[in-house]
Amino acid sequence: MPKYSTLKPKVLLHVCCGTCALYPYFLLKKDFDVTLFYYNPNLYPEKEYVKRLEGIKTISKKYSIPLVTGKYEIKKWLRLTTDFKDEPEGGRRCTQCFSIRLDRTACTAKKLGFDLFGTTLTISPHKDHNIINSIGLELASAKGINFYQTNLKKKNGFKKTIELSKKLNLYRQNYCGCVYSKK
């Protein structure tokens, strides 16, 4: 009998779309038991939310990855970001948007008994991984759960995930996701 458990830690990985989830999933699955978590109330219009969810469902089914889906709470998201609606991409609206999505991920991970939570948001070349990681760490400390810090765009992470997505013919969006970024 081994003296230690061979079970991998269970991570709830927040994902924003199928394309961005692919490379991170393959990277993390070496060390973690990964479950995907789709919670993106920022997405507009609703058909965009559904399209990205379809991409997630495709990879969940293809690679037998467990998937947990949150609610589409766009009214709540709009209310919580309204003060920053005129901010440029990368500004305070985005920080608030990361917080909303990661807060729900942390709470869900804690509630469902995961060892830690993480996000694929750091794979985007347009997003600052330092901001995302510091939000994750703050939430982790507040909720009493661990956060897995990443900078998934390094080592050509973004390019790699696009290549994997092309092979599966997954939907790839051309805007970040909210009504303001669509404009």
| Binding site residues, ligand SF4, CB under 6 A | 42, 89, 93-94, 97, 176-178, 180-181
Kindly state the smallest distance separating residue 87's Cβ from ligand SF4, in Å.
8
Strand, coil or helix: 177: coil
Between residues 123 and 146, which has the closer beta carbon with respect to ligand SF4? Answer: 123
Give the shortest CB-21-to-ligand SF4 separation in angstroms: 16
For residue 165, the minimal CB distance to ligand SF4 (Å) is: 19
**Minimum separation from the CB atom of position 39 to ligand SF4 (A):** 13
Nearest CB to ligand SF4, comparing residues 97 and 170: 97
Looking at beta carbons only, is 25 or 180 nearer to ligand SF4? 180
Q: Give whichever of 58 and 181 is closer to ligand SF4, judged by the CB atom.
A: 181
HEC assignment per residue over 83-122: HHCCCCCCCHHHHHHHHHHHHHHHHHHHHHCCCEEEECHH
Looking up tokens 């994997």 gives 164
CA torsion, ordered 173, 159, 90, 69, to nearest 10 deg: 50
Q: How far apart are CA 103 and CA 145, in angstroms?
A: 12
Report the distance separating Cα 108 and Cα 114, nearest Å: 9
